[in-house]
Chain A
Amino acid sequence: ETGVTQSPTHLIKTRGQQVTLRCSSQSGHNTVSWYQQALGQGPQFIFQYYREEENGRGNFPPRFSGLQFPNYSSELNVNALELDDSALYLCASSLGQGIDTQYFGPGTRLTVL
């Protein structure tokens, strides 16, 4: 139990639609990172937010965007869904930045048909 929750658990969308995934970090954790984990692969870094500002971004197109709120919740938005977006989406919260310990949520399984 990491204290990080994600919703929904599972989601099915069709190609071209938009989706919003939600994460609730541990209280006091100022950093949230989002990852995409395709089946059989390791997580890939999407972006990181620190105190509501984007603080780093991986190799993902602009249709992947995020928000972080003062109440330690955050969102990952994906526009114009593609079949390859089907994956487990993980959020991780940490107290600070960099090598600080990350606590992962259980993930949201997104299927794009």
Chain B
Amino acid sequence: TQLLEQSPQFLSIQEGENLTVYCNSSSVFSSLQWYRQEPGEGPVLLVTVVTGGEVKKLKRLTFQFGDARKDSSLHITAAQTGDTGLYLCAGVDNYGQNFVFGPGTRLSVLP
């Protein structure tokens, strides 16, 4: 069974601060995805990383996939209150069919 761990579990910061959340596994994944989920809604895909060592930037969000494709990080620069939500990483197993989600990092950005 491929498992994903995320840290920290909870994070509360002030608007304007930077933060990094992590997604780790002992297994290799063919790709990793990051989602953001708000209360009462389903997760929304932010990015997919496929190549080991890959770095993708989406405005203030920077995503990195580890060289060994076992871990990933999400860095947010100058956090805004609108960034508040549950950040989930999800890995696709090597068969390309089953998605495994981590437990999520719940981020609160205070004004």
The A-B contact count (CB < 8 A) is: 64
A90, CB-defined interface residue at 8 Å: yes
A48, CB-defined interface residue at 8 Å: yes
Contacts of A66 in B (CB 8 A): none
Interface of A is mostly: loop
**Cβ A44 vs Cβ B98 within 8 A:** no
- From B4, B43, B104, name the one whose CB has the most chain A CB atoms within 10 angstroms: B43
**Cβ B42 vs Cβ A105 within 8 A:** yes
Closest to B40 in A: A106
**Cβ B99 vs Cβ A42 within 8 A:** no
CA distance A62 to B90 in the complex (A): 24
A41 in contact with B104 given A56-B98, A101-B48 (CB within 8 Å) = yes
Contacts of B6 in A (CB 8 A): 42
For chain A, residues 18 to 71, give those with C-beta under 8 angstroms from any C-beta of chain B: 33, 35, 40-45, 48, 55-56, 58-59
B45, CB-defined interface residue at 8 Å: yes
B108, CB-defined interface residue at 8 Å: no
**Cβ A42 vs Cβ B102 within 8 A:** yes
**Cβ B45 vs Cβ A55 within 8 A:** no
CA distance A35 to B30 in the complex (A): 20
**Cβ A48 vs Cβ B97 within 8 A:** yes
For chain B, residues 64 to 111, give those with C-beta under 8 angstroms from any C-beta of chain A: 88, 90, 92, 95-104
**Cβ A45 vs Cβ B99 within 8 A:** yes
B61, CB-defined interface residue at 8 Å: no
Closest to A55 in B: B97
Measuring CB to CB, which residues of chain B are less than 8 angstroms from any residue of chain A? 1, 4, 6, 30-31, 33, 40-45, 48, 50, 88, 90, 92, 95-104
